[in-house]
Amino acid sequence: MELGDAVRARRSIRKFLPDKPVPHELIEEALALAMRAPSNSNVQPWRVFFAGAERRERLVKALTDEVRARRPTSLGLPESFQYLRSELGAQVYGSMGIARADKEARWAAQLRNWQFFGAPLAGVVCMHRDLGPVDSVGVGMFLQTFLLALTERGIGSCVQVSVAMCADVLRTELDIPDELTVLCGLSIGYPDPTFPANHLDIPRNAVEQNVVFYG
């Protein structure tokens, strides 16, 4: 697969085949490529914790118990950007046949975030608390390289901000040290081809909306 093909093929997968585990050697290959990502002073600030099999099941139960007991009112996006979440939600939930007014069905769909969408491999991405924004850029470059390497191997993924809202649960279940800041969750597995949301092609801005060129 060419790089451009991998970039265009990558999707946020929201339903995985739970009984089709990803071979460990493929994860290792993708990680080895991602480790080539640039970082400030070669700090390599990314730290990733993976949970498979029994550890994943325990983690999912702890997360779902937490959010059922204290349902999140926000997923951390500022009010001025909430309209973008609404636009995305209309596409994702619409593909699933969930009406905007059906609050219970939407909550059931949202709850799957903390279940890693049924992915057989769950991950949590972290960075040392003493590092700053420029180092989070390094983590982002590592993560994108990892996602593309997975895509090249036919493996689906989804980066999940919502999981990071339960940092205390993640620390307990995955023994994440206090000096690490939890940035996001990560679901990895083979996509369920029958799930409509897995085939969405979410539009992107035109280049000129985000980029300024000076002559």
- CATH number (domain holding residue 135): 3.40.109.10
Torsion angle of C-alpha atoms 146, 152, 196, 54, degrees rounded to 10 = -50
161 within some domain: yes
Run of H or E including 209: helix 207-210
Six-digit token pair at 36?
Answer: 């080539």
Residue 22 per-residue DSSP state: P
Q: How far apart are CA 17 and CA 117, in angstroms?
A: 9
199 within some domain: no
pTM of the model: 0.94
Residue 214 per-residue DSSP state: -
Cβ-based burial of 177 (10 A; exposed 0-12, middle 13-18, buried ≥19): exposed
198 residue type, one letter: N
Per-residue confidence of the chain (215 residues) as pLDDT tens digits? Answer: 899 999 999 999 999 998 999 999 999 999 999 999 999 999 999 999 999 988 999 999 999 999 999 988 766 788 898 888 888 888 998 898 988 888 899 889 899 999 999 999 999 999 999 999 999 999 999 999 999 999 999 999 999 999 999 999 999 999 999 999 999 999 999 999 999 999 999 999 999 999 999 99
Six-digit token pair at 187?
Answer: 């679901």
User: Containing domain of residue 141, as a range?
Assistant: 3-69+84-193
